[in-house]
Chains A and B, each alone.
Chain A
Amino acid sequence: MLPCSGRVEELTLLRAFEKGADGVMVVGCLEGDCHYLTGNLRARARVKRVAGILDKVGVGAERVEMFNLSAGEGTKFVQYANDMVEKIRGLGPSPVNVARQRKAG
């Protein structure tokens, strides 16, 4: 939990994959509704950059995604989280994890 999605940096996301995450979802406030004006837009730009990096290193751009909702939209949050989990399950383990398992024998 961070006070603003604008605090999410590229490294935060990349490290999650290094530490074994199969997918990462970033959830920020609705666009145009940021308490800090543009925090969620910065987060979206960084998520886009990281998606590009993940694509180039063979992990896959689709394993990171940004969602926007308000604090009152609990049901929507659950739906987004379930959708993301479903998507990642469909993709299977991250290629980083697959390579690690292969190396471990």
Chain B
Amino acid sequence: MIIGQQKAIEALLEMLSPYDNILLVGCHGCVTVCRSGGEKEVEILSSTIRLARETAGRPIEIREVTLERQCDPEYLEVMRPYLEDYQAVLSIACGAGIQFVAEKFPAARVLPGLDTTFIGVTEQQGVWAERCQACGDCVLHLTGGICPVTRCSKSLFNGPCGGTTTSGSCEVNKEIPCGWMLIIDRLRSTGQIENYRKILPMKKWRSSRDGGPRKIQREDLMG
């Protein structure tokens, strides 16, 4: 899922300073699961902002709405009736959701309440970690199901580099396990170590961000 975290309240209050009423929009998708932008977080943030503004002597009116997903046009329609009554929209969806709100409602002033951080997994309750950089050309079948683009700090394709410590951590940060040590251990434990002896060719980064904003079109699904 897409993992995000809310911006600091000080930054949000600064962003909201020109406004006396706002629409605060959450998302029932990924950001609900990573506890940063779902219905509960909308309520908590709304209450937080109201308390701050009242304490500062300048109350703010907030309407709360949480959409099924902010990245699908049909769900965005739910917020349309409220738009003209509010000076700005504070969205706590991921960057895709926030941008889609701005795109679909050209007159709206849309503000980001969240920093979108990475595509990742829930390692344990309250702990999320990055697993995918959406490079567009998956090689997990060659690397034991462990991504060299994401798990290696340098995204090496024929690692490890010389920066691996004797305890198996990365020179970038000793809390980060060496991605290539993970790959080699996994290839060995699953009887696929011969994969490691193959030199992986240079990666074509064009399928990643280097080729510009990406788009997928499925003719079988397009209306």
Q: Which A residues fall within an 8 A CB radius of B?
A: 9-11, 14-15, 17-18, 53-54, 56-59, 95-96, 99-100, 102-103
Contact = CB atoms under 8 A, between A and B. Distances in A.
Nearest to B13: A57
Given A57-B9, A99-B57, A18 B51 contact: yes
Given A9-B40, A11-B44, A96-B51, A58 B56 contact: yes
Contacts of A9: 40
Contacts of B57: 99, 102-103
B48 interface: yes
Contact of B43 (A11, A17, A96, A100): A11
A96 B48 contact: no
Contacts of A99: 54-57
Given A15-B47, A103-B59, 10 more contacts: A10-B40, A11-B44, A14-B51, A17-B51, A18-B51, A53-B51, A56-B48, A96-B51, A96-B55, A99-B55
Given A9-B40, A53-B9, A56-B9, A14 B48 contact: yes
A10 B51 CA distance: 13
Contacts of B43: 11
Interface residues of B, number: 16
B70 to A, nearest CB: 22
A22 to B, nearest CB: 13
23 contacts: A9-B40, A10-B44, A11-B47, A14-B48, A18-B50, A18-B51, A53-B9, A54-B51, A56-B52, A57-B9, A57-B51, A57-B55, A58-B52, A58-B55, A58-B56, A59-B55, A96-B51, A96-B55, A99-B55, A99-B57, A100-B54, A102-B57, A103-B59
B10 interface: yes
A56 B10 contact: yes
Interface in B34-54: 40, 43-44, 47-48, 50-52, 54
Interface SS of B by simple majority = helix
A29 to B, nearest CB: 21
Contacts of A95: 55
A56 B14 CA distance: 13
A51 to B, nearest CB: 12
Which 9 residue pairs spanning A and B have beta carbons closest together? A57-B52, A14-B47, A58-B55, A57-B51, A95-B55, A56-B9, A99-B57, A11-B43, A10-B44
Interface string B165-195: 0000000000000000000000000000000
Contacts of A15: 47
Nearest to B41: A10
Contacts of A53: 9, 44, 48, 51
Contacts of A18: 47, 50-51, 54
A58 B55 CA distance: 7
